Amino acid sequence: MSGGARLPDFVRRGLPAALLLVVAASMVATLSPTEIVRRGSLLLRSLAGETISAAETTGFWFDPSYAVFLEEVRRRTRKDATIAIVVPPFPSAYVYQAAYQLTPRRVVEPGRETEATFVAAYRYQYRNVPNTDVIELPHGALFRR
């Protein structure tokens, strides 16, 4: 402050804590009690060292089974692969989550399959046809190009 005036120590120490409480209260007010309990449970499990699956996190609110599909795509492709994804057009979170979850792999959208070494088709109805270039995945399939 100018003129050499200082805030009392109790104000300087208490103000950050008070502001943190205001922010926390405003965030909690936007969540349902069920969601608060769910997130608290996830936090406790995480602090205990448990690995939380992507399907349980809030990033897959739009389709939890998509997390399982992407995990299998990630597991079955090399890090330098380019993957074309075939997903529902809405919401755009399908494309964003694929790009995020499959990093460092390059993800391209439908129409650019010629650039890809794999095509990952979500919700593809796999038929048990002998073909070494098609890999059945939970909730879809992975095609080698």
| Same structural domain, 96 and 117 | yes
* Range(s) of the domain holding residue 60: 54-144
| Same structural domain, 96 and 116 | yes
Q: Which residue has the tokens 């402050």?
A: 1
Q: Are 139 and 121 in contact (CB under 8 A)?
A: no
| Same structural domain, 76 and 133 | yes
How many domains does one find in the chain? 2
pLDDT, tens digit (0-9, with 9 covering 90-100), for 87-98? 988 888 888 899
Cα–Cα distance for residue pair 93/98, rounded to 1 Å: 8
| Same structural domain, 11 and 74 | no
pLDDT of residue 69: 93
Encoding tokens for residue 72? Answer: 């299998």
pLDDT, tens digit (0-9, with 9 covering 90-100), for 114-124? 999 999 999 88
Task: Examine the fold and report which residue of 10, 28, 47 is the final residue of a domain before the chain moves on.
Answer: 47
Cα–Cα distance for residue pair 21/43, rounded to 1 Å: 19
pLDDT of residue 2: 55
pLDDT of residue 58: 65
pLDDT of residue 30: 67
Whether residue 145 has pLDDT greater than 60: yes
